[in-house]
Structure 1
Amino acid sequence: MSLETSYKQYKEFKTFPCAAVEVKNEPILSFTDGSKERAELEKALRELKGKTEEIPCVIGDEQIWTKDIRYQLSPFNHAHKVAKFCYADKDLLNKAILASLAARREWDLKPVADRAQVLFKAADVISGPKRAEVLAKTMIGQGKTVVQAEIDAAAELIDFFRFNAKHAVELEQQQPLNSDGSTNTMLYRGLEGFVAAVAPFNFTAIGGNLAGTPALMGNVVLWKPSDTAMSASYAVYKILRESGLPPNIIQFVPADGPVFGDTITSSEHLAGINFTGSVPTFKRLWKQVAQNLDIYKNFPRVGGECGGKNFHFVHKSADVGSVVNGTIRSAFEYGGQKCSACSRMYVPDSLWPQIRQKLLDVHKQIKVGNPVEDFGTYFSAVIDDKSFSRIKSWLEHAKSSPNLTVIAGGNCDDKKGYYVEPTIIETKDPQDKIMNEEIFGPVLTVYVYPENNYKKVLELIDNTSPYALTGAVFAQDKAVVEEAAKALRNAAGNYYVNDKSTGSVVAQQPFGGSRASGTNDKPGGPHYVLRWTSPQVVKETHVPLKDWKYTYMG
């Protein structure tokens, strides 16, 4: 059954559709020389070269400019102002909240199939006519290579929209039991109030999901896009509107982080926060919600994903080629700026000489540069000056610490773009802070352990870092694989065996972790949509009650 046919059929079912929606993962295009998709992408990149896009706040259908003007810079060429935008102030954010609340009831009462249709259409638009534009804006604005933009701003975003729409429609089929004389119905209502979506820079898809999925479930949303992903985020917002999303359902409101946080958490109508970002920011929001609990009409739903200190554990039985290639990709793709990137690695002393040499051999071939002008670039500059400074301080720590030895890379330069070399460090101390704290850059630290001490190393991995997002175990010995799975049961929400710690795919590996990594709501899975509903159970009795007494009472 085609999606179009399913749309038409579902429109006839005002309450419960009776068939599953057929959805598949979006194919990842190759962009080989001479291909149609490459020609379209190169054209889109040319059209954006040197241009500055003007991006207002959007409340309803009103485009609003404040005096607080900001710029998004291209990471690999910070002289290029990619976008000019403005911050919404407290008054504008409160205006957005009130406008959303006025639109909420009508949106929530729409059949879920109608709401789902908006996401299905947006996915089709991104898959087809707007693919090149969204990819080009992600590449130029966020410093992604072709493949990294494709797996994010096309494939993952399309998959989020299609699979969440499918899950929303199918959720309506999950109904309670009936009994003689009465029927029971579960209504999956949106939350009463508004949801605040706070998005990160590193995945265009995450912003679309954080705002789009609560809206799909009948909620109204204030979307605060990342300052450093503004251009691509605005493109996604416009696609949603052009695909039938009514005004005031998602308000597009760039804002200063603390101003946004203070404003949403001081509104009695806050119903939820959908967050991806840093631990300190998430904790701040959570504390503000706790302090303001007495003012809210409901207990707000607080969901967040906060990053990781992700591990690759290598056993002596591991396939060395898989270890080396998987670790290079996990640690260095997109400059290590993925929540799931490998930044700590544990290698047995028996394998270290050959793994070390192979890592160094590949390291020499990694090209860091401008991903728009040279498609052979493996990764580009880190996102901004703050990120560059933070990573630079880690490189200085590595060079000055007696426990750490830089074996490759270690240099950085921010004259033209925020460039950091892929860096490999060896540590004598497995508890050094570089093994504990998130860096969010192209920095991999390796601890070499005596091969027979692997059980202690598994404990070490579990206890070293406060995070528990992703991790990988490389071993051919099945007994060790089973042993590691038990030892590391709580060390990662996405756990890989003989594969790298990055690359989760919507509907295949729903993503998220616990501990300091977040609330592990698993976006990309079937349960995620339920998080943004407040179900109501309706019991309707068809037989009049004839007596107030019970029979045993005589």
Structure 2
Amino acid sequence: MSTVQYRTALDRPAFFVGGTWLAPSTDEHHVALEAATEVPIGTAAMAGPADIDAAVAAARAALDSGPWGRSAAAERAEVMRRFADAWEKRADLATTLVSRENGMPIALSRQTNGLGPAGHLRRNADLIEKFPLEAPRLSMRGATIVRREPVGVVAAITPWNFPLGLALSKPAPALAAGCTVVLKPSPETALDSYLLADAAIEAGLPAGVLNIVLADRPASAYLVSHPGVDKVAFTGSTAAGRAIAAECGRLVRRCTLELGGKSASIVLDDADLDTFVAGLDAASFMNNGQTCTLQSRILAPRSRFGEVVEAVAGFAAGMVVGDPLDPATTCGPMASKAHQERVLGHIRTAIASPARLITGGGRPAGHERGWFVEPTVFADVDNADRLAREEVFGPVLAIIPYDDEADAVRIANHSEYGLAGSVWTADEARGVDVARRVRTGTIGVNYYAIDFDSPFGGLKASGIGREYGPEGLSSYLDHKSIYTSAAQLPS
């Protein structure tokens, strides 16, 4: 952060609070640098406690006094669809802006940041229209109406790696449920989330239903603890998630936490390696390795270990490292200088270990500017090594040998995380059986891709609660029992 003058048309000098633009209470600003060039592309105001207070107050007033939570589900769904339409007009700008901010390859950015927000809005609009919000049932003394109501004001705290897709993954179900939202995006992608505000204004979203403030850690912690907040929905590191969970526990406040991962890709002895290699980008290298679901531990049978190492190394060495705005690029830069150094630090530690460096291992030649890291593969990694235990969040894979199927499952489960995974086999029924034995929230057989109509989330240190699908929508609703006479039952 620094105190600077605004420079470009991308600058964001105010916060979106109460349906309008609110001047900040501090002079602090974040300077956004382009990941591939390190050139400043804009600045954004940073919130202090007074700005957080204003955003929560606006959300609280919209919840307690406004029409949103008391409106019919069909009315909310209609506004959300208009929101999606308005967003799609901004999708191209959003796609390019995110790639400049965090280095995401442009084709992936188009899918996740350009199309993703509208998809979240429309899916949840469809869901809420079909969702049973009130149902009577017989009781010992008459009837009970079981009612689902909005949980209240939601603090949605989202990360920089898929900034717009994840920014709407929480407000979309919250808005559908009738909640109001304070969205706190990451400073690393400081400029893009305000496009959501522009779309919300065009769609006619009532004032205060969605509020957007950018903040650093102290102000974010203030938001988590704010007495006007009813639920915290967070995606980010496990370390930050533990702090949020502790505070929500102290306050007896609901929270949904989608945290880190160190997932395993189990290559069974009958796997077709062409199929495995075709799925490597999505399963293990997506977004330059900056994805929580990536299977960065490749478990290979000793009988085919050399084949698997050769296949993974060939794929990694063939990735095109470069400008994320170039459609030919398959691996862009890290999102920041500090993150690049963290990833390179993990690589240096692994090089000093008994593991074998197969390909990559540092900064790619010809990229003196930008926060690039070579796609890197280590073989003969022990599952107890740091490289196999800690989330690197970069294009770095560890290939680990196993003896038999039971050993592969044991190694996969021997992790503090449990977010994702995959099994590769010529026998899908066998793959499903192995998948059932892996302790993880999501797992694919012969591919890995998140299904937004099904629950997503982690076990162990990978999180609490579920997002997406009916289960994700349910987490923004509370149950109320209204005790009545049997006459309340439908005839």
**TM-score using structure 2 length:** 0.90
Which residue number corresponds to residue 110 of structure 1?
71
| Residue correspondence of structure 1 range 112-261 to structure 2 within 5 A | 112-127=73-88, 129-172=89-132, 175-177=135-137, 185-192=145-152, 194-203=153-162, 204-261=164-221
Q: Secondary structure at the match of 1:109?
A: coil
2:367 corresponds to 1:408: no
Which residue identity is paired with 2:460? R
1:392 shift after superposition: 0.9
Contact 1:312–1:473 at 8 Å: present in 2 too?
yes
| Residue correspondence of structure 1 range 331-370 to structure 2 within 5 A | 331-370=284-323
Which residue number corresponds to residue 16 of structure 2?
58
1:144/1:421 CA distance change after superposition, 3 Å: same
CA offsets per residue over residues 274-304 of structure 1, 9 Å max, x none?
000011111111222333x3xxxxx421111
Which residue number corresponds to residue 550 of structure 1?
none
Contact 2:283–2:447 at 8 Å: present in 1 too?
no
Which residue number corresponds to residue 462 of structure 1?
413
CA offsets per residue over residues 257-278 of structure 1, 9 Å max, x none?
232213441x333210000001
1:325 shift after superposition: 2.3
Which residue identity is paired with 2:72? P
Q: C-alpha separation between the residues in 2 aligned to 1:384 and 1:115?
A: 38
1:448/1:486 CA distance change after superposition, 3 Å: same
Which residue identity is paired with 1:454? E
1:428 shift after superposition: 4.3
Contact 1:55–1:234 at 8 Å: present in 2 too?
no
2:451 corresponds to 1:498: no
Of 280, 293, 313, 2:266 maps to 313
**TM-score using structure 1 length:** 0.80
CA offsets per residue over residues 29-56 of structure 1, 9 Å max, x none?
xxxxxxxxxxxxxxxxxxxx98643342
1:419/1:114 CA distance change after superposition, 3 Å: same
Q: C-alpha separation between the residues in 2 aligned to 1:179 and 1:462?
A: 44
CA offsets per residue over residues 488-539 of structure 1, 9 Å max, x none?
1x2x111111114xx21311x4321111110131x22112112112233445
CA offsets per residue over residues 98-149 of structure 1, 9 Å max, x none?
232222122211222222222211222334x222122122222222222211
Q: C-alpha separation between the residues in 1 aligned to 2:370 and 2:145?
A: 57
1:417/1:355 CA distance change after superposition, 3 Å: same
Which residue identity is paired with 2:177? M
2:461 corresponds to 1:516: yes
Q: Secondary structure at the match of 1:246?
A: coil
Which residue number corresponds to residue 11 of structure 1?
none
Q: C-alpha separation between the residues in 1 aligned to 2:8 and 2:48?
A: 29
Which residue number corresponds to residue 88 of structure 1?
47
Q: C-alpha separation between the residues in 2 aligned to 1:158 and 1:395?
A: 38
1:495/1:543 CA distance change after superposition, 3 Å: closer
Which segments of 5 or more consecutive residues in structure 2 lack a partner in the other structure?
A: 1-6
Q: Secondary structure at the match of 1:175?
A: strand
1:244/1:535 CA distance change after superposition, 3 Å: farther
Which segments of 5 or more consecutive residues in structure 1 lack a partner in the other structure?
A: 1-48, 294-298, 545-554
1:391/1:92 CA distance change after superposition, 3 Å: same
1:399 shift after superposition: 1.4
Q: C-alpha separation between the residues in 1 aligned to 2:8 and 2:221?
A: 33
Which residue identity is paired with 2:156? A
Contact 1:504–1:510 at 8 Å: present in 2 too?
no
1:135/1:290 CA distance change after superposition, 3 Å: same
1:457 shift after superposition: 2.4
Of 379, 394, 402, 1:441 maps to 394
Alignment coverage as a number of residue pairs: 475
Contact 2:8–2:41 at 8 Å: present in 1 too?
yes
1:330/1:183 CA distance change after superposition, 3 Å: same
CA offsets per residue over residues 223-260 of structure 1, 9 Å max, x none?
11111222221112321232121121222111112322
2:422 corresponds to 1:472: yes
Contact 1:181–1:543 at 8 Å: present in 2 too?
no
Which residue number corresponds to residue 18 of structure 1?
none
Q: C-alpha separation between the residues in 1 aligned to 2:320 and 2:405?
A: 34
Q: Secondary structure at the match of 1:460?
A: helix
CA offsets per residue over residues 155-195 of structure 1, 9 Å max, x none?
33222111111112211366233689977544432224x21
Which residue number corresponds to residue 552 of structure 1?
none
Which residue identity is paired with 2:334? V
Considering only CA atoms, is the larger Rg found in Structure 1 or Structure 2?
1
Contact 1:55–1:83 at 8 Å: present in 2 too?
no
Q: Secondary structure at the match of 1:150?
A: helix
1:273/1:201 CA distance change after superposition, 3 Å: same
Which residue number corresponds to residue 332 of structure 2?
380
Which residue identity is paired with 1:381? P
Contact 1:116–1:168 at 8 Å: present in 2 too?
yes
Which residue number corresponds to residue 32 of structure 1?
none
1:474 shift after superposition: 0.9
Q: C-alpha separation between the residues in 2 aligned to 1:336 and 1:220?
A: 33
Q: C-alpha separation between the residues in 1 aligned to 2:42 and 2:477?
A: 35
Q: C-alpha separation between the residues in 2 aligned to 1:58 and 1:405?
A: 50
Q: What's the % identity of the aligned pairs?
A: 23
Contact 2:86–2:202 at 8 Å: present in 1 too?
no
1:392/1:529 CA distance change after superposition, 3 Å: same
Which residue identity is paired with 1:376? A
Q: C-alpha separation between the residues in 2 aligned to 1:466 and 1:283?
A: 13
Contact 1:312–1:472 at 8 Å: present in 2 too?
yes
Q: C-alpha separation between the residues in 2 aligned to 1:170 and 1:90?
A: 39
Contact 1:116–1:216 at 8 Å: present in 2 too?
yes
CA offsets per residue over residues 352-399 of structure 1, 9 Å max, x none?
333333333333321111122x21111200111221111010110121
Q: C-alpha separation between the residues in 2 aligned to 1:362 and 1:157?
A: 31
Which residue number corresponds to residue 4 of structure 2?
none
Q: Secondary structure at the match of 1:393?
A: helix
Of 249, 252, 256, 1:290 maps to 249
Contact 1:126–1:134 at 8 Å: present in 2 too?
no
